[in-house]
Amino acid sequence: MIFRYLIATLIFSTPLIAGPAGYNYDESKVPEYTLPDPLVMENGKKVEIAAAWKVRRDEILGLFEEHVYGKAPIGRPEKLRFVEGEKFDDFLGGKATLQHVRILLFGDENGPHLDLLVIAPKNVPEGGVPAFVALNFSGNHSVHSDKRIPIPDSWMRSSSDDKKAGYVKDNRAQEAGRGFKKNRWAVEKIIDSGMALATFYYGDVDPDFDDNFENGIHAVTGKPAAGEWGSIGSWAWGCSRALDYLETNDSVDAKKAAVFGHSRLGKTSLWAGATDQRFALSISNNSGCGGAALSRRHFGETVERINTSFPHWFCDNFVKYNENEGELPVDQHQLISLIAPRPVYIASAEGDEWADPKGEFLSALHADPVYRLTGTEGLAGAKEHPAVNTPVGGVIRYHVRTGKHDVTDYDWEQYIKAMKDLVVNKKDEIRAPGEAPTILR
């Protein structure tokens, strides 16, 4: 009896932390740190007017390229070509269209390609509808069970559960995986809100394993130098190529495109929003270390751990900051500042300590001065990490929801609302600071 009581006490008194043991999950153990000021130039000069932000922005972008994500060695390939499949108009009971588009990255049918699944409302107004450009983890066919969605032929990583269930076999997606991630995709809500979803499998651009950069896009561009892109940089580049296509699609208004990703793909969506200013909104869902979370906080995942577990994600220079975050010339609030003054949405989950929810909020908070200088209301006065399920902010929005590391309908409802407020109606976008020129987008 006593023994049982002891066991129960042990089980219930041990906090359930969602993250590997041996890392810091205790707020009181967060070290003292000083963040680089996004509004102070490398030469020490303060950026005081919006017009000067562009110069500082270039500087910060260069630092992220050199030290964190790596510079993309190529932009839009000259021979980029799109092959549109049939557009079915009976999707979701006839209220939406479904189309498969192959983006031939270098124009060659046998060369690297990215397959985009475009789901749009059937009746679109002149000029098209806003769209979410979203990276997916498990293939376009995993997003919805419609049999017409092609199964990717690219390399696919798989958890032991995915293998057991037959979703992935020998690192290739299988028919059995059709729709198996559909709970993460609020397709019908998006369509009912008059918006489109354009999604692609990130592994089409670069496989997510440490392959010494021999496959995917790196096989074409060569082994990256220490300051050149890793996989995250290449996935973000893929988002831009998806947007290149959407600019040609009449159902979509490509000027109203949000880039969305979860977890490692949330790190990617922030980098895509930072590097490609055509994205009108950037959404990071539970992106954590190397995404929205401040590296210097040392809460949950660390730079050393991420570089060790995923050596292919960042550029080689990032390794210099393993257990040495204080020396990083930037921190992740400056990644958010690169998106200013365009809207950004950062979302955390309460049970996702590994991603450091508070650190994700603090990035938003410390990017706020840049958003204000560039003529927006930024976080709209929010100063404290909010209570769960209470979104805060203006052009910078943030929420922490109950539950674990995941993408839920609740998250999508907030993103759809942000798209309506900030991209469609531009409701709380711009104030007019004395010296700001027209908005810098």
What does the binding site for ligand GCU look like in residue numbers (CB under 6 A)?
263-264, 288-289, 301, 306, 309, 354
Tokens describing residue 170: 């020998």
Q: How far apart are CA 347 and CA 144, in angstroms?
A: 23
Residue tagged active-site, from 100, 312, 333, 405: 405
Q: Is 145 a catalytic residue?
A: no
Residue number, 252 or 336, with CB nearest to ligand GCU: 336
Q: Where are the beta strands (DSSP E) in 340-425?
A: 344-349, 392-393, 396-401
Nearer to ligand GCU, 134 or 306 (CB): 306
Q: How far apart are CA 359 and CA 163, in angstroms?
A: 34
As a whole number of angstroms, the distance between CA 205 and CA 218 comes to 9
Write down the least CB distance from residue 203 to ligand GCU, Å: 13
Which residue in 138, 231, 240, 263 is the catalytic one?
Answer: 263
Q: Write out the H or E segment, with its range, that includes residue 364.
A: helix 357-373
Instruction: Compare residues 288 and 378 and give the one whose CB is closer to ligand GCU.
Output: 288
Angle between helices 231-246 and 264-275 (to 10 degrees): 60
Nearer residue to ligand GCU within complex by CB, 303 or 395: 303
Minimum Å distance from CB 177 to ligand GCU?
17
Q: At its nearest, how many Å lie between ligand GCU and the CB of residue 388?
A: 20
The answer to whether residue 405 is catalytic is yes
* Structure letter (DSSP) for residue 194: T
Min. distance of Cβ 8 from ligand GCU in angstroms?
30
The pair of structure tokens assigned to 373 is 């200088």
- Least distance from C-beta 263 to ligand GCU, angstroms? 3
- Contact by Cβ (8 Å): 129, 196: yes
State the nearest-atom distance from the C-beta of 312 to ligand GCU, in Å. 13
Minimum gap (Å) between residue 20 Cβ and ligand GCU: 8
Q: CA separation (Å) from 425 to 206, 227, 347, 374, 430? A: 36, 39, 22, 19, 12
HEC profile for 367-384?
A: HHHHHHHCCECCCCCCCC
- Cβ atoms of 395 and 428 within 8 Å: the answer is yes
Q: Identify any residues that bridge with 385 across adjacent strands, giving them in sequence order.
A: none
Beta carbon nearer to ligand GCU, 253 or 325: 325
CA separation, residue 374 to residues 52, 55, 365, 429 (Å): 10, 13, 15, 11
Beta carbon of residue 137, minimum distance to ligand GCU (angstroms, whole number) = 8
d(CA 227, CA 317): 6
Q: How remote is the C-alpha of 49 from its chain's centroid?
A: 29
Distance between CA 28 and CA 237 in Å, rounded? 39
Paired sense of beta strands 81-91 and 96-104, if any:
antiparallel
Determine if residue 5 is left, alpha or beta; phi over 0 gives left, psi from -120 to 50 gives alpha, anything else beta. alpha
Four-residue CA torsion sign, 349, 353, 355, 358 = positive
Q: Which is nearer to ligand GCU, 211 or 377 (CB)?
A: 211
> In the structure encoding, which two tokens stand for residue 238, read together?
């893929």
Q: Is the peptide bond before 433 cis (omega within 30 degrees of 0)?
A: no
Task: State the first-to-last Cα distance of the chain, in angstroms, to the nearest integer.
Answer: 68
Q: Is the Cβ of residue 91 or residue 260 nearer to ligand GCU in the bound state?
A: 260
* For ligand GCU, the closer CB: 207 or 288: 288
In the bound complex, what is the minimum distance in angstroms from residue 267's beta carbon to ligand GCU? Answer: 7
Q: What are phi and psi of 227, to 5 degrees?
A: -110, 20
Which residues are catalytically annotated? 263, 405
